[in-house]
């Protein structure tokens, strides 16, 4: 809407004259992206890097994300920091379900993306994106705090670009988009279901010849 | 002309009301026009720590620990009296020594009495309330 309604040239001209023009969408996204409250929740060694990011040296407070909330009701962002075991996966999905919209997920580290070095393990979930939608992936084992900050900035960019209205408005504003995702159950050999087909879209193998 | 001194209280009350109500009204308007409500069974669940709650929250809780707490408190207070006594021990007459001995004997008597009543047995089968019951059934 900002692109459609306000002429950029006029806007910068006004700004030079000391008049600041904005839109509801920009104001809303500006407020949201600068106060992302993460869920206080770590799973493995990546959580140590997450703690370092929150502490004074790397200081995620510079980006407005220092308020780690111990309750999912008050959190905007879930940083899945570490190996997700199959025992833990239902709890993570349930915590995600209990977060209010709009909510975002950062999949931090190789384990949260794909199972990482423990991918062959019988008890390790091969990526949290099998059950919940992930916004930003951070590779690394574990990723440096700078990488988490970079992911945080990427998420801020994503929030900033979300539309409030129109056909391609943000997913959480669409009434048909679910806010809760099915929680997997413990089955004999694996979690049931092993992945949520609505959120999990693995890259298809393309064989030649 | 000086304003009514109570005017400031009225202003203060107005600001105090508007301060919480304005954000709530804005949030309500936002929900009304932009954000579709998406309630759900888990989202609205009372317990919020990722695990599902088991059983009832309103259970009979066995209040046994308070006996230990009371007995501990007696000897805690005794220590408070004993430490200054011990510090000044060499300069005290024999009467003070006898007095503190009687004081300790009284407390020890209380302990013996509690012991004899079975207060130091944790969840003994003979105790009237029975063992601590998790499910409340």
Closest residue to B40, CB basis, from A73, A95, A97 = A97
Number of CB atoms found within 10 A of residue A129's CB: 22
User: How do residues A85-106 score in pLDDT, each as one tens digit?
Assistant: 999 999 999 999 999 988 999 9
CB A159 within 8 A of CB A103: no
Give pLDDT, residue A4: 55
Contact B35 A179 (CB under 8 A): no
Q: If chain A, 209 residues long, is cut into consecutive pieces of 10 residues, what is the mean pLDDT of each piece?
A: 66 88 88 92 90 92 90 92 92 92 92 91 90 92 93 94 86 86 89 86 83
How far is residue B5's CA from residue B77's CA, in Å, rounded to a whole number? 53
Residue B107 lies in a domain: yes
Q: Which of A91, A104, A106 is nearest to A46 (CA)?
A: A106
Residue B97 lies in a domain: yes
Q: Which residue of B has its CA nearest to A93?
A: B50
Closest residue to B51, CB basis, from A91, A101, A173 = A91
Interface with B, mutate which of A94, A97, A183, A185 (most B CBs under 10 A): A94
The count of domains in chain B is 1
Q: Which residues of B touch A180 (CB under 8 A)?
A: 38, 40-43
Residue B26 lies in a domain: no
Mean pLDDT in residue range B15-28: 95
Q: What is the DSSP letter of A67?
A: -
Residues spanned by the domain of A140: 23-183
Give pLDDT, residue A5: 65
- What interface predicted TM-score (ipTM) does this complex get? 0.73
Q: Which two tokens stand for residue A146?
A: 């700078």
Q: Examine the pLDDT at B12 and tell me if it is beyond 50.
A: yes
Residue B58 lies in a domain: no
Q: Which residues of A touch B49 (CB under 8 A)?
A: 95
Residue A192 lies in a domain: no
- How many CB pairs below 8 A link A and B? 43
Q: Which residues of B touch A97 (CB under 8 A)?
A: 40, 42-43
Residue B71 lies in a domain: yes
Give pLDDT, residue A198: 84
What's the CATH code of the domain at A112? 3.40.50.12280
Element (H, E) at A53: helix A45-54
Residue A204 lies in a domain: no
Give pLDDT, residue B19: 96
Length, in residues, of chain B: 137
User: How do residues B45-89 score in pLDDT, each as one tens digit?
Assistant: 888 888 888 888 787 777 777 888 888 888 898 899 899 999 998
The count of domains in chain A is 1
Residues spanned by the domain of B86: 65-117
Per-residue confidence at B130, pLDDT binned at 50, 70, 90?
very low
The interface residues of chain B toward chain A in range 24-53, judged by CB-CB distance below 8 A, are: 34-36, 38, 40-43, 45, 48-52
Distances (CA, A) of B79 to B20, B75, B102: 51, 6, 15
Closest residue to B40, CB basis, from A72, A92, A180 = A180
Residue A97 lies in a domain: yes
What is residue B98's three-state secondary structure? helix
Number of CB atoms found within 10 A of residue B13's CB: 10
User: How do residues B23-47 score in pLDDT, each as one tens digit?
Assistant: 999 989 988 888 888 888 888 888 8
Task: Tally helices (H) and strands (E) across chain A.
Answer: 7, 5
Per-residue confidence at B129, pLDDT binned at 50, 70, 90?
very low
CB A25 within 8 A of CB A2: yes
């Amino acid at each position: 809407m900002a692109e459609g309604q306000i002429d950029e040239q006029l806007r910068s001209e006004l700004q030079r004259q000391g008049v600041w023009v904005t839109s509801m969408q920009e104001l809303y996204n500006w407020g949201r992206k600068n106060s992302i409250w993460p869920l206080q929740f770590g799973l493995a060694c990546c959580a140590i890097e997450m703690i370092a990011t929150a502490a004074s040296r790397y200081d995620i407070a510079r980006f407005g994300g220092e308020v780690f909330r111990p309750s999912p009701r008050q959190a905007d962002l879930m940083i899945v920091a570490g190996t997700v075991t199959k025992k833990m996966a239902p709890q993570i999905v349930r915590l995600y379900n209990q977060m209010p919209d709009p909510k975002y997920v950062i999949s931090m580290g190789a384990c949260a993306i794909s199972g990482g070095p423990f991918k062959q393990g019988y008890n390790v979930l091969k990526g949290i994106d099998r059950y919940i939608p992930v916004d930003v992936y951070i590779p690394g084992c574990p990723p440096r705090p700078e990488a988490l900050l970079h992911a945080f900035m990427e998420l801020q960019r994503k929030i900033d670009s979300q539309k409030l209205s129109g056909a391609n408005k943000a997913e959480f504003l669409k009434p048909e988009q679910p806010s809760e995702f099915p929680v997997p159950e413990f089955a004999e050999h694996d979690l049931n279901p092993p992945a949520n087909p609505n959120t999990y879209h693995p890259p298809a193998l393309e064989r030649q010849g | 002309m000086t304003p009514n001194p109570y005017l400031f209280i009225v202003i203060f009350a107005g600001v105090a009301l508007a301060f919480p109500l304005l954000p709530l009204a804005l949030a309500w308007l936002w929900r009304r026009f932009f954000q579709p409500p998406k309630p759900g069974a888990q989202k609205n669940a009372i317990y919020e720590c990722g695990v599902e709650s088991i059983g009832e929250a309103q259970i009979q809780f066995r209040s046994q620990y308070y006996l230990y707490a009371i007995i501990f408190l007696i000897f805690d207070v005794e220590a408070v009296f004993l430490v200054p006594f011990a510090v000044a021990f060499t300069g005290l007459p024999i009467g003070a020594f006898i007095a503190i001995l009687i004081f300790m004997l009284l407390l020890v008597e209380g302990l013996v009495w509690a012991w004899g009543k079975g207060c130091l047995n944790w969840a003994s089968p003979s105790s009237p309330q029975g063992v601590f019951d998790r499910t409340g059934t």
